[in-house]
Structure 1
Amino acid sequence: MKQSKDQVSVWCIISLTSIPLIMTLGNSMLIPVLPKLEEKVGITSFQSSMIITSYSVAAIFLIPVAGYLSDRFGRKMVILPSLIFALIGGLIAGFASWKMEDPYTMIIVGRIIQGIGAAGAMPIVLPLVGDLYKDDDEKISSTLGIIETSNTFGKVLSPILGSIFAAILWFLPFFSISALSLISIALIFFFVKIPKENDEPVKFKEFLSNTKTVFKTEGKWLYTVFLNGILVMLILFSMLFFLSENLEKVHNIKDIKKGFVLAIPLLLLCIASFISGRKIKGDLATIKKIMIISLIAMSASIVFVGFTSEKLILLLVVTSIVGIAIGALLPALDAIITENIKKELRGTVSSFYSSARFIGVAAGPSIMSLVMKNYLNISYITAGVFGFILLFIVFKYIQVDEIEKINKIA
């Protein structure tokens, strides 16, 4: 089916990439600031981890709702109000930090509202890309690679910007999220043109029936992708939380310098994500191969993070390998979901996947805050074991021929 040039213009893609960039900044930018926030607000390491977790928990439960609403009423109708929620949440957290003597509770409230915004923004971008390019799997894969690269580039910028903003005012990162959300709102409003659909929206009963059918017929590979999303983000965010604490307390690297050091593994993650997205080209066999290689590299390297924690260069080498593996894996997971689910259910199914990823984001920092003092090595060895178990599950349940056969029947 033909797409007009302005439907998928360069500005349209830029506008879409602004969403994962800003949503990532909205969470990851606070990680390098957490030690300073603990000092300013007078909270523990676990309490500071909840500033990340509260954002993610709110998103976990609301993402599937946003996915259904986007299938029913349109992607743009969900994305724009969600970005407004993200803007409001940043203002609440920022003003509470600025004006209140004991701002912790209101910071959490602001973060929950931001999480509500995240639920209806980033997850909806994935099915929207599929809508724009219809059945052109190669363009979908390429654009999803760009989207995931924007996501990971946000992770690269996060520690640097977070450290710079916090050096000016420790609560400035909260306000910056609101300013960035406003920019994204304007871009989406003016430049994203949704293709007109002649089909009637699916009714709720039919939607439920179709969803059950999808998970019944394709559940094995879908659940495998969801498990990948959970473990990968749990490992990434627990590692970032640990690095932020470790660089200050063990290596005495603080403020802006710490931001640049934190950005090293994330930059490599970003580059790997971009290359992976370009290589996939809608090919399921390639997607599976990338998943297998990435899981092996991630699982084998993550076990050494604790053992190298006092040796900075080795620690950065190990975490960079983990970052490269995760960066290569993420576009593959995005592509297999988006390209193999029918349009009318694409928003819902991809939202379940995004929700699964947020489980990992929510759990990572809080788990690490509890285990890093006494069980650091054990926790990373356990993560490696889970990675190899997941590798076996991928071998067993990501069957290229079966998935392609089901898609032809559908």
Structure 2
Amino acid sequence: MCIISISSIPLVMTLGNSMLIPVLPILEKKVDISSFQSSMIITSYSIAAIILIPVAGYLSDRLGRKKIILPCLLLALLGGLIAGFASWKMENPYTTIIIGRILQGMGAAGAMPIVLPLVGDLFKDDSEKTSSTLGIIETSNTLGKVLSPIIGSAIAAILWFFPFFSISIFSAIAFVLIFFFVKVPKGDNEEPDKIKEFLSKVKETFKAEGKWLTSVFLNGIFAMFVLFGVLFYLSEILEKIHDIKGVKKGFVLAIPLLFLCISSFLTGRKIEGKLKMIKRIMIISLIISSASVVFIGFVKEQLILLLIVTSILGIAIGAILPVLDTIITENIKKEERGTISSFYSSARFIGVAAGPPILSLVMKNYLNPFYIGCGILGILLMFLVFKLVKIDEIEKTENEIA
């Protein structure tokens, strides 16, 4: 029940963002806004998370994981209510919806990133169980992505603004689960470092591990940028080119996400802290991502080919996400784990925030050059991993932590 409860957080936070993607074209018509404005409903959530995630990570290291997670879930609940009531009752609700989404992003900042160090705390003496649990956590995250277009489309078919309210319901469920079933292990009773000392230690961590951390952070940004950009693009063209709407569109959007989910689950079970395998998976995933993303624009009018290409992309992204989680969680000291993993989560949200608005600007005239550019970027990141992720150096750090 502890693992299920922890897994509910990434599930809820993913639903909080991804569930709205298939609803955005409907929202554009109901609220009379542009594609760029609708993309900001995703981006505003992510920007708030980017800014506050490092703060939440620091506080979780100082005050405790659970003490930060629970209030932030309540904040996400409140944000959903504000966005939902604005959509329901206000004549011009767009600004208030954005305010609600910012509150949800603030809630996400204090919930989702703390999950990774919490797992590290719970299973600190068992690297295999840590890797396996992180695989389950990332699978929960990706399962949320699979279910979100289906749930979002189904709920919006009843009333278009219901998805906002449902986010509050899911947040309440996660709150109850965490409150009752997650028992955080007691610390070693050492007095927490003062801010100056703590920042000095974090600086030392980045100085010592900065090369491979930089590679991991950039890969996290790239994976989320491509994923959310492609999802936003698919949501638009399934309606405009293929005339697929409503719940049917939700199921079609879920196909590449299902492959992403399966890939994430299998990878998490396979790696078990094996650093050489982790580096190999990172390189292979980046090659496959780069090779598949360049074709998306060319096959947009052929639905079957489009789904095949995006599913291959989903497999590659699904494989790299638990790898990135594991390499950070198992190779950073507990005292800095919350802060470092929060910086990583913040980096991932940069990709989430940038993907939809950039796609809304380029998809009319510059789609193919954009996706080709993404492919080139993926190859550059692959070379960066090859050069910066030094297995011997990371293993030395891991032994020091142990």
TM-score by length of 1: 0.97
The residue number in structure 1 matching 2:115 is: 125
Residue in structure 2 matching 1:330, options 274, 298, 321: 321
Deviation digits for residues 129-184 of structure 1 (CA, Å, limit 9, x no counterpart) = 00000131111100000000000000000000000000000000000000010000
Match runs of 1:350-369 below 5 Å: 350-369=341-360
**Residues 252-278 of structure 1, C-alpha deviations (whole Å, 9 max, x = no match):** 000000000000000000000000000
1:280-332 deviation per Cα after TM superposition (whole angstroms, max 9, x unaligned) = 11111111111111111111100000000010000000000000000010000
Q: Does 1:256 align with 2:247?
A: yes
- In structure 1, what residue type is equivalent to 2:382? L
Deviation at 1:408, TM superposition (A): 3.1
User: Which residue in 2 is equivalent to 1:177?
Assistant: 167
Equivalence for 2:216: 225
The answer for the alignment partner of 1:144 in structure 2 is 134
TM-fit CA distance, 1:49: 0.2
Residues 149, 270 of structure 1: 8 Å contact kept: yes
Pairing partner for 1:157 from 143, 147, 153: 147
Q: Which residue of 2 aligns with 1:241?
A: 232
Cα 1:265–1:284, aligned 2, differ >3 Å: closer, same or farther? same
Cross-structure match for 2:79:
89
Three-state SS of the structure 1 residue aligned to 2:368 is helix
Count of residues in correspondence between the two structures: 400
In 2, distance between residues paired with 1:63 and 1:24?
Answer: 15
Distance, in Å, in 1 between the alignment partners of 2:397 and 2:169 is 45
Q: Does 1:381 align with 2:372?
A: yes
- Structure 1 residues 134-143 or 161-170, which shifts more? 134-143
Letter in 1 for 2:113: P
2:203 aligned to which of 212, 230, 235:
212
| 3-state SS of paired residue (1:374) | coil
Q: CA RMSD in A?
A: 0.7
What amino acid does structure 2 have at the position aligned with 1:344? E
Runs of 4+ in 1 over 4 A off after TM superposition: none
2:20 is aligned to: 30
1:341 paired to 2:332: yes
Question: Which ranges in structure 1 are unaligned for 5 or more consecutive residues?
Answer: 1-10
- The question of 1:317 aligning with 2:308 is answered yes
State how far apart, in whole Å, the 1-side matches of 2:255 and 2:16 are.
19
Q: CA deviation at 1:403?
A: 1.0
Which one of 378, 381, 399 corresponds to residue 390 of structure 1?
A: 381
Does residue 105 of structure 2 align to residue 115 of structure 1?
yes
State the AA in 2 paired with 1:195. P
Contact 2:331-2:397 within 8 A present in 1 as well: no
- Could you tell me how far apart the structure 1 residues matched to 2:379 and 2:100 are? 38
Alpha-carbon distance in structure 2 between the residues aligned to 1:212 and 1:399:
20
Quote the Cα distance in structure 1 between the aligned partners of 2:206 and 2:48.
24
Structure 2 SS opposite 1:326: helix
Counterpart AA for 1:385: I
Paired position in structure 1 for 2:70:
80
Shift of 1:409: 4.2
| Paired residue secondary structure (2:222) | helix
Compute the displacement of 1:205 (Å): 1.5
Q: Distance in 2 between matches of 1:163 and 1:338?
A: 35
Q: Which runs of 5+ in 2 are unaligned?
A: none
Opposite residue 117 of structure 2, the aligned amino acid is: P
Equivalent in 125, 128, 136 of residue 135 of structure 1: 125
For 2:399 and 2:318, the matched residues in 1 are separated by 30
Q: Distance in 2 between matches of 1:160 and 1:73?
A: 38
**Contact 1:247/1:258 (<8 A) preserved:** yes
Letter in 2 for 1:180: F
Secondary structure (helix, strand or coil) at the match of 2:379 reads: helix
Q: Name the counterpart of 2:260.
A: 269
Per-residue deviation, 1:199: 2.3
Q: Name the amino acid aligned to 1:312.
A: L
Q: Counterpart of 1:134 in 2: which secondary structure? A: coil
Secondary structure, aligned partner of 1:354? helix
Equivalent pair of 1:17/1:147 in contact (CA under 8 Å): yes
1:404 is aligned to 2:395: yes
1:350-370: CA deviation from partner (whole Å, max 9, x where unpaired): 000000000000000000000
> For 2:361, which of 360, 366, 370 is the aligned residue?
370
Report if aligned partners of 1:85, 1:114 keep a CA contact under 8 Å in 2. yes
Q: Distance in 2 between matches of 1:199 and 1:368?
A: 49
Q: Is contact 2:73–2:111 with CA below 8 Å preserved after alignment?
A: yes
Q: Distance in 1 between matches of 2:397 and 2:186?
A: 27
TM-score by length of 2: 0.99
Q: 1:55 aligns with which of 45, 50, 60?
A: 45
- 1:46 aligns with one of 36, 45, 53: 36
* Identity over aligned pairs, percent: 74
Q: Is the 8 A contact 1:302 1:380 kept in 2?
A: yes
In the alignment, is residue 189 of structure 1 matched against residue 167 of structure 2?
no
- Any conservation in 2 of the 1:130–1:339 contact (CA below 8 Å)? yes
- Counterpart residue identity of residue 391, structure 1: M
Report if aligned partners of 2:74, 2:171 keep a CA contact under 8 Å in 1.
Answer: yes
Could you list the per-position Cα deviations for residues 334-357 of structure 1 after superposition, in whole angstroms to 9, with x for gaps in the alignment?
000000000010000000000000
Q: 3-state SS of the aligned residue for 1:180? A: helix
> Which of residues 283, 291, 302 in structure 2 aligns to 1:292?
283
**Can you list the C-alpha shifts for 1:21-70, whole angstroms capped at 9, x where unaligned?**
00000000000000000000000000000000000000001000000000
Is the 1:202–1:344 contact (alpha carbons within 8 Å) kept by the matching residues of 2? no
Superposed displacement of residue 200, structure 1: 2.1
2:125 partner SS:
coil
